[in-house]
Structure 1
Amino acid sequence: MPGLSPVARTCSRRRVLHAALAGALPGPGVARAQAQSWPNRPLRLIVPFPPGGATDLLARVLAERLGARLGQSVVVENRGGAAGVIAAELASRAEPDGFTLFFASIGTVSINPSLHAKLSYRPEDLLPVALFADLPNVIVVRGDSPWKSLADMLAEARARPGALAYSSSGSGSSLHLSGEMLKADAGVDILHVPFRGGADTANQLMGGRIDIGVNNLPSVITLLRGGQLRALAVTSPDRSPALPDVPTVAESGIPALANYAATAWFGLQVPRGTPGAIIERLNTEVNAVCAEPQARERVEQLGARMRGGSVAEFSAYAVAESEKWAAVIRRSGAKVD
């Protein structure tokens, strides 16, 4: 929103998100006949990151179980690039017939609108269906790194400003913003090097081309368990059940990081204009997937946590997250590389 002050942009963003909610909630006169024959053919689920990363892995759990519940295949379509902008644009312009779904992330919903002065998609053109899962980011180094703790790494970063580099899955991603918030809070200068997706980030780290990785937990959990990588901290407010011995950033012993918290999250959206009855049905089925013990176990094995909830709850959560990350972007001065 070029030309607007930060406060005006935040207010405008809040209005946009509330407008999206209003468009998603079916009115009393909605004709449910539109959804009676739906779905009568396969659906596609557009995923904003490449195969192998956390977003993709979680999306495939949802696609498989949602397809089973709907009686039609849900085909994953990976459209990585530009921190989700490419995929969000594609999804927002799709026919609103209930056959195109978007696996939205914290980045596409709550970060991009503040990070980019101009977007190729309008956030209000994607309507909330349900929050699906969340997970911590994890700060990792190679298994043979001399750093045994986050405090060790930050001490070297402080002693050698600009000498260290950290990677993320792309400029403007939640991983990038988590790293920038850490830098701002800790008062250190570490170079950001973006790569394409979580799998690429892990490979670059193991290859010695960067020093530190900020990754979603699912994309590195196997490497952590195998010893190729070492976790210094998780970014969530609480320790992850998947890595119970790894402290949170807030537990690092650094006073400036005592309130640090960053959690990635994912949900389902559809193009504006999708019939309200279909949105209701999708919300019901996503919540049913979240309640399935086997699906829950698969998600938890990836280090994530099932969420679920109503359309209104997802929309309100997105508004709160958007306001939080807008403040982080202003304070850190984060830019798209």
Structure 2
Amino acid sequence: MAAADTIWRIFLQASAARLDETSLMRDVGVLRPKETGHYGSKPGFRCMHELIMHDGICRRLDCWRWTSLEEFAVSEPSWEDIEAMARTLAHNYIAAPQCDMQYENGLLLNKYMLVYEELSYAMNSGDIGRVETCLVTWIPMFKATGKHKYANTMTDFLCKVHFVYPAGLKRAVHYHIMINPTGRKGKFRGVDWCVELNNLFTKVINGGKGSNHTVLRIIMESPLIQIYRNLHTMFQNDFLHTQQTTRHAEADMSKMFQVLCRQMKKHSPNEIVKGRGSYYSIPDVLAKGQELMEKSNIDNEDRGQEAAVRGGKDERPSVDDVAVELVW
């Protein structure tokens, strides 16, 4: 959720960032024409997640000069072709400064969307090592967009897991970062989601009402939470209410993708138009965040030297140490 909000802060929060024909907000106008106001006023996680996924698909199709997913599928690319296309995307459409501000903004959008999708895929797949590797990239981005608590907490967590906890505790924490309540492929979730769900049942639904909503009542009811949930499930199954949910099937976006691809072809967000200006220059928050963290590390080193002079110890690891640990 924090990663999706970071994308919103970078590309949608500033009013000037929404004015270019190649901006993310113009894509919102095609994909979600009735919800532009909602996206301009800090939407929730699900809305941003779907926007990033859908817009990312269309932008990569535009990079590869395809007009639809169907056309791409008909070409029946081999795995070698897909790898070659991925290398082309990484070399030409992520980081290549040119004299075209809208093109440069588009490069950053491609870059951060790919980083987001990698994190999302790793989390859904339960690939814990890959999640940690992705977080090393996201921590500076959190720092640069004002999410200091996220950045500091994640840094502290990764450093403790890799350099402080004993082997047994490290393994236990590692294998409980992600859980899969349903047991289905691609359905891993962060453990905090289940913790918050349990808190909902414990404190809100079964925690009493009015004057009965006390700590003593919550403690007394907490051992029975699973029994209550089992009873609810049994009633739902007996009365055939299992299908009466608010979850809908994924929307068919093929027509909207075609419209958006035509718009991108018209305005050329992934082609260099020399001299093309922009109402807003998207900041490189990754570089900015790394600069802020380097400055913080220097300050910590200075304090560590002062502590060493006084006879103390200061051997606190940093995100860079975690990155080296993960790579090697």
Q: Shorter-chain TM-score category? A: under 0.3
Give the number of the structure whose residues are more often helix, by fraction: 2
Taking structure 1 as the reference length, the TM-score comes to: 0.25
Taking structure 2 as the reference length, the TM-score comes to: 0.26
Larger Rg belongs to: 2
